[in-house]
Amino acid sequence: MEFSIKQGSPEKLKSGCVVVGVFDGGKLSIAAQALDKAAKHALSDVIARGDMNGKAASTLLLQKLPGVAADRVLLVGLGKAAELNNKAISEILRATFGALSGSPAKDAVLYLIDEGVGKDAAWVIKQAVFAAAEQTFRADSLKSKPSKPATLKDITFASLEKPSATLKTVLDQAAATAHGMDLAKTLGNLPGNICTPTYLAAKALALGKSHKSIKTTVLEEKDMQKLGMGSFLSVTRGSEQPAKLITLEYFGAAKTQMPIVLVGKGITFDTGGISLKPGAEMDEMKYDMCGAASVLGTLQAVAEMGLKLNVVGVIPTCENMPSGKATKPGDIVTSMSGQTIEILNTDAEGRLILCDALTYSKKFNPDTVIDIATLTGACVIALGHVASGMFSNEDKLAQELLAAGEQSHDRVWQLPLWEDYQPLLDSNFADMANIGGRAGGTITAACFLARFTKDYRWAHLDIAGTAWLSGKQKGSTGRPVPLLTQYLINRTAPK
């Protein structure tokens, strides 16, 4: 899908479809008025007959209007101007691209960034690009007869006035973000028998090949042994698939500039290990590598944008399987930090691979470290599927992530990291246990990680409720690629 932005008259731009808005009660937007005039009041006639009343997210496709260069005209209901909030705009854009992809149009010109809808043109452009990408995404490549690729290929955002250079940049960044989300979604949806740790490593190496600015390295189990990663290695013990520790280094600024490190949980399948999970919906544990997928998607987006900063991706990846060799409840392991851990539940494995990856991340002399993990079912109970859980040991970083979430509509909500929770991780036999009981399960998981991140500015994102959808709409969402890329874009802005 290609995106561009330009100035032009709605009736004159040639395309498969021109999209204009209609407000509540059938009031035409300025672009719609221009079309109406050129088409001898065809639009006002349609509205007078009652076929379109401007209700938010309603659509009506018209064909071959006289005086209009585009083959089709799509009327999109915008509702009441005063009620055009972020949520309404997202729904309108989703309906728009739903209608467009249901038509044979190969390209479309959208007049949605002027006037009413354009209160924040940058926001509309970003959400439109995400909605377009969502409509054209295909998840059925493994069916014997996959569906045809989308016919809609070119999207032009048009405006009556000359678009600013800033909006052009916003559009390019949104397109790169959408491509990063596509990568994250594709990897997330792949089954565990295809998307193994070795497969993820191959994808990371391929990213290094296709982008000169990315350098990928892959550590093997013997390397991790030497580094003393006893916690990470305890998780992979029951698996036949070799574990990998992937690093991707992106240099967009001077090598002396301290990097932002993104650490992504890459459990390619989580059975729970000896603390085996119940069978229902266990297939969804193929999504337990969505943190890793978001790191790959974000690095690809950052490289495509050519952002002027340094970013490192660190991905600990393995399976969590039961077997005669698997780690057992009660086993005690030594992490790379030297701290010992009593593994009371082998299903709390994410923190065990992350803690060693977080210790390893110190070697990059990080400015900031952010880990991203489908870490706890408790987070789904706390925040549902709307916000990702967010923790930080620095309030400024927390505020920056909250803001980036709003800007990208990929929101996070902060939970406390107070010391008061730490005693829940006490163990009689080791420095800590890997679980803290049922109460505050998302918080105690974060408290566990906090014991390994004292030397740098750090945030933890629990994406268990936001990385994928269940039921009929089952599929990866590509979150939090929009949040992470927005945060990184913001970090390049002059202070």
Cβ atoms of residues 409 and 439 within 8 Å:
no
Cβ atoms of residues 180 and 298 within 8 Å:
yes
What are the backbone angles phi and psi of residue 117, rounded to the nearest 5°?
A: -70, -20
Instruction: Map residues 363-382 to x or -, x wherever contact with ligand BES holds by CB under 6 A.
Output: -----------xxxxx-x--
Nearest residue to 230 via CA among 373, 337, 375, 328:
337
Enumerate residues 184-223 that contact ligand BES by CB under 6 A.
none
Nearer Cβ to ligand BES (197/350) = 350
d(CA 480, CA 467): 7
Report the relative pairing of strands 475-476 and 468-469 from DSSP bridges.
Answer: antiparallel
Catalytic residue flag (residue 265): no
Instruction: Map residues 248-287 to x or -, x wherever contact with ligand BES holds by CB under 6 A.
Output: ----------------------x-----------------
Q: How many residues at the interface with ligand BES, by CB under 6 A? A: 16
Cβ atoms of residues 13 and 109 within 8 Å:
yes
Shortest distance (Å) from residue 139 CB to Mn ion: 24
d(CA 320, CA 250): 29
Report CA dihedral (146, 147, 149, 151) to the nearest 10 degrees.
170
Enumerate residues 269-328 that contact Mn ion by CB under 5 A.
270
Spot the catalytic one: 94, 244, 265, 351.
Answer: 351
Of the candidate residues 347, 356, 371, 400, the single one contacting Mn ion (CB under 5 A): 347
Of the candidate residues 4, 44, 198, 345, the single one contacting ligand BES (CB under 6 A): 345
DSSP notation for 190-246: S-TTTS-HHHHHHHHHHHHHH-TTEEEEEE-HHHHHHHT-HHHHHHHTT-SSPPEEE
Q: Does 92 bind ligand BES (CB under 6 A)?
A: no
Q: Does 182 bind ligand BES (CB under 6 A)?
A: no
Nearest residue to 22 via CA among 61, 78, 60:
78
Burial of 280 (0-12, 13-18, 19+ CB in 10 A): exposed
Residues in the chain: 495
What are the backbone angles phi and psi of residue 375, rounded to the nearest 5°?
A: -90, -40
Nearer Cβ to ligand BES (310/434) = 434
Shortest distance (Å) from residue 324 CB to ligand BES: 22
- Among 56-64, 173-181, 282-290, 440-448, which window interacts with Zn ion (CB under 5 A)? 282-290
- Among 35-43, 93-101, 149-157, 344-352, which window interacts with ligand BES (CB under 6 A)? 344-352
Q: Does 441 bind ligand BES (CB under 6 A)?
A: yes
Of the candidate residues 65, 124, 167, 348, the single one contacting ligand BES (CB under 6 A): 348
Enumerate residues 302-361 that contact Zn ion by CB under 5 A.
350
> Which single residue brings its beta carbon nearest to Zn ion?
270
Catalytic residue flag (residue 351): yes
Nearer Cβ to ligand BES (94/351) = 351
Q: How many residues at the interface with Zn ion, by CB under 5 A? A: 4
- Chain centroid to Cα 196, Å, comes to 20
Enumerate residues 282-341 that contact ligand BES by CB under 6 A.
288
Sequence-distant (≥ 6) Cβ neighbours of residue 402 within 8 angstroms? 390, 411, 412, 414
Q: What are the catalytic residues?
A: 277, 351
For binding to ligand BES (CB under 6 A), which residues are involved? 270, 288, 345, 347-350, 374-378, 380, 435, 441, 464
